[in-house]
Structures are given as structure tokens and as C-alpha cells.
Amino acid sequence: MAVVTCKYHVKTPARWACEPCQINFCIDCIDSPAPGKLPRCPVCDRNLTSLGSGNLVMPYWHRLGQMFIYPFYPTPLVFMLVVLALGYGFANIPIPIFNLLLLLVLIVVVAKYAYVVLQDTAQGHLVPLPIGSETLTDDIILPFKQTALMFAFGSINFTIYDMFGPGVALIAYIIILLALPASTMVLAMEQSFFKALNPALIFLVIKRIGLPYFFMVGLLYLLTLAAEILQGLLTHMVTPGVASILLIFTSMYFFLVMFHLMGYVLYQYHDELGYSVEVEAEAHVPVGKLEIASPEMRATEILIAEGKNQEAALRFEQIIQTTPGNIEARERLLKLLRLLGENTQHTRQGQDFISYLFHENKIGIATKVYQECLAYDKEFRPARPNERVEIARMLRGNGQAKTAVTLLGNLHTEFPSFDGIPAAYLMVAKMLCEQFSDDSKARQILQFVLKYYPNHEIAAEAQEYLTVIDKLAGQQR
């Protein structure tokens, strides 16, 4: 019983498959579709095929430990303790027959609860559900059907013994022992005595589960054996009074473990057996935190993994169009475009990203994005002049005057009507003078500002700075 795993999460069982692409996807790769609809393959956009949720259920042989814990959940534990207390009380009623009758009722109630455990587990409830008022009274006939079933199997075996002798009867006995769990499972799911006795139906259940069915049967008889050994030990270790309480408790405990196990096998094979379950399985292996949370981003990851980079880029663009605030998509798109050498698109997306960040007043991040774009493309510049000035100011503050000066070069030819040019150029002049000691270039720029923007509010400051430069130059001479 190999579990089909996801191509991209090799430890996670797959839920969907694309046959043309030959890819299996887990539920983390594909967003769950609308009811009655199949999800689409992120690579080829065809409908995916369901692998059945049975593929997601952890095989019972991987969770044997949990089987033994099941009766210790509060609901079954309290149930068993109440039964013990009532049993003790009933046994001490000094009216013969009457106390036996009450004890018999108690046994029926325990058997009924075992069926409830089987049915709930088969529906995918791996933690016991609370016991409601109807839980134990609805279909209370089930344990009687079970008893009738045992009688039926017994009499079949006796008849065979009478007709064919002990050899054949022994074989029949073994077959009955093998069929008994399947019969119990059919009775639990169908609630029909005749269906539970129908050899064709029993055979179908065994055939569909396959070899794991026989492992389960082996396990059930091992559990019976374990219960007997434990009880044998207990009777020697404690006083008879305590021993009888412990015997009843261990009997109930192993009974619930076994019915939980049979229920779980039904749950695990519900697809094969054609049962629908209430609780759809989630991936049984804890999935490591995925890098990306949203389903559409997962799809782009898959496209990239499949080498479909152009399609992935297109998908990223669609994501950004619908959710401009998806910073992760924007960053990943830029990286992808660099990888693909798509310079024109890189410029457009980079500029768009920076404009978005300015709109959100995130100038620090915008500066970082600019630097990354610049590292890839020496010609890259933000689209708007005010963005260039703000980023240059940020860069200057971070001690990156050279990048800032380059960024502001030619502002007046590219954006002749931008009214921030005098201030930007004054900043450039200051950087040239202070960081690069290039006084002559600084003076040229200041003179340019004074010539072309004599009435601008910044002109006075430019004039003042020019005077300072001249004075310093005079002192040095």
C-alpha cells in the first residue's frame, strides 16, 4: 500500500493528479475546489483527477499507538467508569434475577457504545464524540444483531461439523474467524443482520481492503490474547474484589480499542468500499511551513518548478493587478524577470513597484527596491522625478552619495517642467562639494540653478551656498 505523494512536498500524500503532466499534487499545492467541481492543474490548466481522500488517511499500522490511547479520552473513560460503578451497584442488589437483568442491560449498553465508536471512527472522527442521549439508545438493537450473528456463525460451524466431520469444520472455523471482523464492520455500517451474514458482501469488503485486512484480523486476535494475558496476571496480583473490577475495565478497554481499529480501517478504505465520510482527511504528515501561503502564489511556484517561467511571470502580473499590495509577488516577479533577462518588463515592473511603495509612503523599502533594480540594470531609474529625489535623499542619508548623484543626473532634460529641480540640484551640489570635494562641478550646477531658476524659492539658498564655496576657495588660495 504505497501512498502516492506530492511532487513538490515529497513527504505529503497527494490528493490530486494531472495525468498529461504526470504530476501529483497535495492539498497544500491546490486550493480546495468548489463542491462538485474539480480543481485545475496549475501547469496545463486541465481538470485534475482525484486520487481519493483515502490516499490522505494515515494507514492504521502507522497509528497503532493512538489506537491504544483512544479509550482514555475523557468521554470513553468516564463512560467506562460509570459502567463500573453501576455494575458494582447492580451486582450488590440482593434481588436475584433482577440484578442479573440489570447487569445484562449494562453489557448491551457497552456493546452499543462499541458500535458507536466504530461508526464514529469510520466517519473520520478520530477523537471520541461526546455521548448524547440518543447515542446509546438509537439502534440499541445492534448488539442483539451481533449476538444473533455469532449464533448464526456458530450453528453454521456445527452443521458443517455434523455433515463433513472435524477436519472440514476446523477449516470452516478458521474462515469464520477471518470473516467475523468484516461481518461486524458490515453490520456497523449497514445495520442489517442479513447483509452482515451475506458471504458475497463479506468477501467484497475483504477483497477491497486486501492484505491489510488480514493484518487487522491478526491484530484483533493479538489484542484478545493480550487482554487475556493481562487479566491472568491481574487475578494473581490483587485481591479478588479488585481483580473483578480490573477485569471488567480491561475487557471494556480492549473492546473499545478493537472497535476503534475496525472503524479506522473502514475510514482508511472508505473510497475503496464506497462509503462517504463526514470528516474529510487532511494530509496526515505534518506539512512543513510553506514559503508561500496563498494558492495563486503556490501555482506560480509550481510553474517555476516545471520550468514554465514565462507563464509564472504572467501569473505574477495577474496577481499584482488584482492585489497591488502583494509585496511578495512583486519581489518574486522582479527576481524572475532578472533571471529571464526580460529588461523591458523588469524596468516597467520595478518602476510600478516603486510607485506603489511611494503611494504607501514606504520610501525606505522603495529605496531598497531601487538599489536591487540598479544592481541588475545600471540604467534603471524610478519613473517619477519626485521618487528619484526622495530616494536620492534617502541614499544620501545612508552614505551612498555616489548613487544619489547618479540618480539625479539629467533631471532637467528628462523632466524639464518638474519644479523640484532646483532643490534636487542644490542637494547634488552639496554632495559634490562635501562628499567628493568636486567644487568646480558643484559651482557649475549652482550657477545653472541661478541662471534658469532665478526666481525660485531655492535660488537664495543656492546663491548662499555658492558664496560659501567661493569663500572657501579664496581661503585655500
Site residues, Zn ion (CB under 5 A)? 6, 8-9, 18, 21, 26, 28-29, 41, 43-44
Nearer to Zn ion, 132 or 307 (CB): 307
Neighbours of 186 (CB within 10 A): 24
- Least CB distance from residue 29 to Zn ion, whole Å? 3
Q: Which residues of 96-119 are buried (b: 16+ CB within 10 A; e: fewer)?
A: eeeeeebeeebebbbbbbbbbbbb
Q: How far is the CB of 281 from Zn ion (least distance, A)?
A: 15
* Least distance to Zn ion, CB of residue 283, Å: 9
Residue whose CB is less far from Zn ion, 9 or 381: 9
Question: Euclidean distance between the first and final Cα of the chain, in Å?
Answer: 92
Residue 323's CB: how many other CB atoms inside 10 A?
Answer: 13
- Between residues 41 and 172, which has the closer beta carbon with respect to Zn ion? 41
Residue closer to Zn ion by CB (options 46, 359) is 46
For the bound state, the minimum distance from the C-beta of residue 391 to Zn ion, rounded and expressed in Å, comes to 40
Q: Are 11 and 5 in contact (CB under 8 A)?
A: yes
Residue whose CB is less far from Zn ion, 45 or 414: 45
Q: With contact defined as beta carbons under 8 Å apart, do 48 and 7 qualify?
A: no
| In the complex, minimum distance from the CB of residue 279 to Zn ion, in angstroms, rounded to a whole number | 21
Least distance between Zn ion and beta carbon 6 (Å): 3
Copy the grid coordinates of residue 347. Answer: 524596468
Q: How many CB atoms lie within 10 A of CB 281?
A: 21
**Could you tell me which residues come within 8 angstroms of residue 385 by beta carbon, excluding any fewer than 6 positions away?**
411, 414, 415, 418, 420, 421, 424
CB 290 to Zn ion: min, Å: 8
Shortest Å, Cβ 26 to Zn ion: 3
Q: How many whole angstroms separate alpha carbon 114 and alpha carbon 368?
A: 64
Q: Are 307 and 315 in contact (CB under 8 A)?
A: no
| Number of residues that make up the chain | 477
Which letter, b or e, does each residue of 167-183 get, where b requires 16 or more Cβ atoms within 10 Å of its Cβ?
eebeebbeebebbbbbb
CB-nearer residue toward Zn ion: 45 or 470: 45
> What is the spatial distance between Cα 378 and Cα 373, in angstroms, rounded to a whole number?
8
Alpha carbon of residue 348 to chain centroid: 36
d(CA 346, CA 38): 35
Distance from C-alpha of 135 to C-alpha of 259, rounded to nearest angstrom: 16
CB of 57 to Zn ion, least distance (A): 17
Non-local (6+) Cβ contacts of 207 within 8 A are none
Which cell is 112 given? 452499543
Rounded to a whole number of angstroms, the minimum distance from the CB of residue 32 to Zn ion is 13
Report residue 432 as a C-alpha cell.
Answer: 559634490
Q: Which is nearer to Zn ion, 56 or 209 (CB)?
A: 56
Nearer to Zn ion, 9 or 270 (CB): 9
Instruction: Pick between residue 38 and residue 204 the one whose CB is nearest to Zn ion.
Output: 38
Residue 20 or 416 having the CB closest to Zn ion? 20
H-run or E-run covering 336:
helix 327-340
